Amino acid sequence: MFLILLILSNCHISAFSQVIKGTVLDKNTKDPVGYAYLYFSGTFSGTQTDPNGNFTMDISKNKSIPLTISAIGYYSVTQTDYLTDKPLLIYLDPKVYELKEVNISAKSLARRRRVNMILFKNVFLGTTDNAHYCRILNENDITFNYDSDNDTLKAYALKPLHIENKALGYNITYYLDKFEYASKDRSFTFKGNITFNEDLQINGEQKENYEMNRKNAYLGSRMHFFRALWFDDLFLSGFEVRSASGKKLAYKDIVTEDVNKGKFLKYGENLKILYDSPSVSSNLEFLKEKVLFINDGYYDSDAILWEGYMADLRIADWLPYEYSISE
């Protein structure tokens, strides 16, 4: 099984203000960063800074999710302490890479790039049916650096990746901060942030196809699991949770509640999650003592390492937090 660490740095916060203002700056030069993008990763919601790096943003619909700031040529930054009436100053670190791949005109390097691109897309987009209908529109913005000593493929992108998902009907923007794949044990990590857009001019038949594909992608997914867990609805939703030692667990065994912070998934062992049948199973390894999650399916993905079915659902099968299943 592949191991996947999907990192979208997350933390829960309580509401304080509905509109925030501030300026995005280069951390080194302190110059304003114009046209930086501020958004809630995994949603449709976002705004841009003006040419002077200034922004105003209504955060009322997503105030339980951290705010992410991205710009071309910079690493993304996640802000959890943004609920304030005072103007925010947000600093971005420029991306600096030491790259070995500088000339792909030679046949051997071009061939190597093609192989690396296939591997990258299989790991990043996934290999499900939906992945076959996904296309990265700006593949030329991806650069590879293969470390033969460590048997590790690394991928970099100064610009956000633009992905067309014709299976689910979304246009995706992904800000890639890290990608590593170790061929020896087939383990990998990719880290970044994602936003969604959809074509609202689709016809009735196409819309029905999208809805069917979205529902199939949702059922049994991480989003589905955490929404069901929030409402103590695991059994009716088709999930079963067991400890690593095989003990069947209920809501009260694995969820703790904090009046101020929300709900947390917590248990003394790693968990096995079954959906509909024993053959559809996932393993959940805790990287932190407890995992924050909220009712829309958002969870602290820094705190979990997935293996199995849920690990196989990658960019091609991801849905925005605004998604609502149609019956």
176, two tokens? 């890639």
pLDDT in tens, 141-176: 999 986 655 688 999 998 999 999 999 999 999 999
The predicted pLDDT at position 110 comes to: 81
DSSP string, 75-93: --EEES----SSPEEEEEP
The predicted pLDDT at position 148 comes to: 59
Instruction: Write down the H helix ranges in the chain.
Output: 107-124, 204-218, 222-230, 234-237, 251-254, 309-312
The predicted pLDDT at position 205 comes to: 84
The predicted pLDDT at position 151 comes to: 82
Query: 284 with 271: CB under 8 angstroms?
Result: yes
- Using the Cα atoms of residue 298, residue 217, residue 323 and residue 157 in order, give the sign of their dihedral: positive
CA 198, CA 146: separation in Å to the nearest integer? 35
Q: In the chain, which residues have pLDDT < 50?
A: 1-16, 101-105
The predicted pLDDT at position 64 comes to: 76
